[in-house]
Amino acid sequence: MLIDIKESEINTLDSFYPAYRELYKFDNVKNILQLLQFQGLLEIAKESNGDVIIISSENGKLIASSLCSVYFNRVKEISGAIKPLHTISFSSLRDSINSLLYE
């Protein structure tokens, strides 16, 4: 699946989060994550290498799929396009990107 990325969506904090100022308030982010976990919308796990990962629970995915706005639709479109990248090792992905950038 190929999609066109808009210039405004590249390397900008507001492209990742519409109210980006909130991202700098770590207490707010922590509280939001705790609330989402308490409501059963997120699952938090620790990997064997010590990394902590946060993923949507099945209930969280159901609620997210029901959200309808230009922003959420765009996030869903981009997420669907990059999902296959999860199956590629980091080194293979890096080599592929470098070959595209430096041809």
pTM over 0.75, yes/no: no
Q: How far is CA 74 from CA 4, 5, 12, 62, 86, in A?
A: 11, 10, 15, 17, 19
pLDDT digits (tens, 9 = 90+) for 40-54: 999 888 888 888 888
pLDDT band at 8 (very low <50, low <70, confident <90, very high): low
pLDDT digits (tens, 9 = 90+) for 26-80: 787 788 888 889 999 998 888 888 888 888 899 988 888 888 777 778 877 887 8
Domain residue ranges of the chain, discontinuous segments joined by +: 7-66, 68-103
What pLDDT does residue 58 have?
92
pLDDT band at 11 (very low <50, low <70, confident <90, very high): low
**Which of 74, 60, 66, 62 minimizes the C-alpha distance to 18?**
74
For the segment 73-88, the average pLDDT, to the nearest whole number, is: 80
- What span, in angstroms and rounded, lies between the C-alpha atoms of 37 and 56? 9
Question: What is the per-residue DSSP string for 29-73?
Answer: HHHHHHHHHHTTSEEEEE-TTS-EEEEE-HHHHHHHHH--SHHHH
What pLDDT does residue 93 have?
83
